[in-house]
Amino acid sequence: MKKIFVITALSLAVLSLTNCKKVLEKSDVGNFTAEQIFNDSTTVKLNCDYLYSQNQPGWFGTTGGSIHSAGTYNLTEEGQGSNVFVLGTATIESVTDLGVANASNNSYGKIRVINTFLRDLNAGTLDLAVKRRFAAQAYFWRAYRYFELAKLYGGVPLILEPLNAVGDEAKQLALTPRAKTSEVFAQVKRDLDSCVKYLPAKWPKQADYGRITSGAAAAFMGRVLLTYASPQFNPNNDAARWQAAYDANKTAVTLLSANGFGLYSKFDYTMWTTEGGTSSGAPLNPEAVLVTGYNNSTVDINQNNNTFDNSARPRSVSGSGSYTPTYEMSLAFPMLDGKPATGTGASTKYPYSLSTFYKNRDPRFNATIAYNGATWGSVMNGARVWTYYYFSASSGTTNRTTEPTAASNTGFYLRKGVDETKASPSTFIGTDWIEIRYAEVLLNLAESAAELNKLGLSDEPYANLIAIRRRAGLEAGTDGLYGLAAGMSRVDLINAIMKERQIEFAFEGKRFFDLRRRKLLESTLNGTRRNAIVVQLNRSGTLATDYIAGTREASAITSLDNLYTTSFTVSLKVLDTQNINFQAGNYFYGIPTAAINNNINLQQNNTWGGPFDPLQ
| 22 is a domain residue | no
Residues 515 and 446 in one domain: yes
pLDDT of residue 377: 78
Residues 466 and 405 in one domain: no
pLDDT of residue 172: 62
Residues 317 and 423 in one domain: yes
Residues 355 and 404 in one domain: yes
Got the DSSP string for 119-161? HHHHHS-S-HHHHHHHHHHHHHHHHHHHHHHHHHHSS-----S
Residues with Cβ within 8 Å of 503's Cβ and at least 6 positions away in sequence, in order, are 332, 333, 334, 362, 364
pLDDT tier for residue 317 given thresholds of 50, 70 and 90: confident
Structural contact between residues 331 and 570, judged by C-beta atoms closer than 8 angstroms: no
Residues 380 and 326 in one domain: yes
Residues 427 and 439 in one domain: no
| 452 is a domain residue | yes
Q: Which structural domain, as residue segments, surrounds residue 510?
A: 435-474+484-526
7-21, 276-290, 368-382, 493-507: segment of lowest average pLDDT: 7-21
C-alpha 241: how far from chain center: 24
| 538 is a domain residue | yes
Burial 98-126 (b: 16+ CB within 10 A, else e): bbbeeeeebbbebbbbbbbbbebbeebeb
* Residue 466 dihedral angles phi and psi, to the nearest 5°: -65, -40
Residues with Cβ within 8 Å of 446's Cβ and at least 6 positions away in sequence, in order, are 460, 461, 463, 464, 465, 493, 497
Structural contact between residues 200 and 187, judged by C-beta atoms closer than 8 angstroms: no
Tell me how far apart the alpha carbons of residues 472 and 292 are, in angstroms, rounded to a whole number.
24
More confident call, 45 vs 101: 45
Residues 419 and 456 in one domain: no
Counting runs of H as helices and runs of E as strands, what totals does the chain give?
24, 10
| 554 is a domain residue | yes
Among 221, 226, 228, smallest CA distance to 182 is for: 228
pLDDT of residue 95: 96
CB atoms under 10 Å from CB of 156, counted, come to 28
More confident call, 474 vs 542: 474
| 252 is a domain residue | no
| 392 is a domain residue | yes
Residues 336 and 447 in one domain: no
Among 200, 499, 180, smallest CA distance to 332 is for: 499
What's 571's DSSP letter?
E
pLDDT tier for residue 18 given thresholds of 50, 70 and 90: very low
| 142 is a domain residue | no
Three-class secondary structure of residue 570 per DSSP: strand
Burial 229-260 (b: 16+ CB within 10 A, else e): bbebbbeeeeeebbebbbebbbbbbebbeebb
Structural contact between residues 477 and 458, judged by C-beta atoms closer than 8 angstroms: no
| 93 is a domain residue | no
pLDDT of residue 5: 40
> Residue 457 is part of a domain; what is its CATH number?
1.25.40.900
Q: What share of the chain is helix, strand, coil (3-state, %, to 5)?
A: 45, 10, 45
436 strand-pairing partners: 290
Enter the pTM of the model: 0.93
Residues 318 and 399 in one domain: yes
Total domains present in the chain: 2
pLDDT of residue 53: 92
Residues 365 and 511 in one domain: no
Average pLDDT value for residue range 126-139: 97
Tens digits of residue pLDDT in 188-230: 999 999 999 999 999 988 889 999 999 999 999 999 999 999 9
Average pLDDT value for residue range 284-311: 78
Residues 343 and 369 in one domain: yes
Residues 339 and 460 in one domain: no
Tens digits of residue pLDDT in 76-117: 999 999 999 999 999 999 999 998 777 777 899 999 999 999
